[in-house]
Amino acid sequence: MKKLIIALLSGSIALSTSLSVFAVENQISNEEFLLDAQIQLSKNQVPTEGGYLSASIDLTNIGDGDASLKYWVSVKGPKGIVFPAKSVVGINSSEFDSENIEEGSALHIERGIWVREYMDDGLYQVAVEGVNVETGKTFSKSETFAKGVSIEQPAAIDGLILEAFAVNDTIFPSEGGYLILDLQAHNTRDQSANIEFWVTAVGPDGLAIPVHARVLKSVPALEELSIIRGFTLDASYPDGEYTIVPQLYDVDSGKRVEGAIKVYKGERAVTD
């Protein structure tokens, strides 16, 4: 199989082939009030036929003051789908259950989520979001799971195969770092394929950083398009978990697939 090579080096991020589930710290402050939001999912993958998973969420007041909050839980997925997992709730942080909490007080939330068969395959985010009623400041923490997307095997559309590889490390200090990403689109069909592809890094608080701009290409039959892309995980970016999302769109069929690669920044990014 012949290979078409495009070398595109600019600032970058680190990647990993595993889609792990864990919570990272997300804090908002208002004078003496300081909130830490964490979320953990019971599983990181459901089949194409759909399935059930649960979200374990903790909102912890790690400051000295109290505040009135409104919060909710939602699920966001491919093609703009968004559905609620918990409706809007108003609460004062002084009402958090403080039993067995060493510092401050906490609210624990457990939510079950049904992912239906008709929902598109791809990446989904479960997010707890809210607002400080007194200041208008918002907070958000999310975790990612995949539906019908294999983490160990490349994503495919009728003979089009999308693969992504990290060249170096995937865990970086708070100072950030640089990594090179190898993206490959294999056309195993007996005719050329018109594709559009792009890559985005989704970070803490829903931060979306462009890794590769949208590009239209024609890949000849039984050939491969390989893109070498560099990206800087800047020190100014917040610490936490980043999901690198390469996406490939088959122009002729209108079908799309995406991958998921994890990157971690900061000493507190990864927990046992």
Could you read off the pLDDT of 39-54 as tens digits, one per residue?
Answer: 899 998 898 899 999 9
pLDDT recorded at residue 195: 93
Domain presence at residue 260 = yes
Are 135 and 186 within one domain?
no
Domain presence at residue 270 = no
Are 207 and 251 within one domain?
yes
pLDDT at 109 over 80: yes
Residue 87 pairs in a beta bridge with: none
Are 137 and 213 within one domain?
no
Domain presence at residue 272 = no
DSSP 31-50: TTEEEEEEEEES-SEE-TT-
50-68 burial, b for 16+ CB within 10 Å, e for fewer?
ebebebebbbbbbbeebbb
User: Domain end: 147, 171, 196, which one?
Assistant: 147
Per the structure, the complete domain to which residue 116 belongs is given by 27-147
Encode pLDDT of 62-72 as tens digits: 777 777 888 88
Are 141 and 159 within one domain?
no
Higher pLDDT, 117 or 100: 117
User: Domain end: 147, 182, 199, which one?
Assistant: 147
Are 127 and 102 within one domain?
yes
* Pair of tokens at residue 163: 């693969």
Domain presence at residue 251 = yes
Domain presence at residue 177 = yes
pLDDT at 165 over 60: yes
Mean pLDDT value of segment 207-216: 91
Would residue 191 be called left, alpha or beta, if left means φ above 0 and alpha means ψ between -120 and 50 degrees? beta
Q: Which amino acid is at 221?
A: A
Domain count for the chain: 2
Mean pLDDT value of segment 183-209: 89
Are 124 and 181 within one domain?
no
**Mean pLDDT value across the chain:** 77
- Structure pTM? 0.55
Are 155 and 228 within one domain?
yes
pLDDT recorded at residue 202: 86
User: Domain end: 147, 174, 205, which one?
Assistant: 147
Residue 11, domain CATH: 2.60.40.3880
Are 230 and 142 within one domain?
no
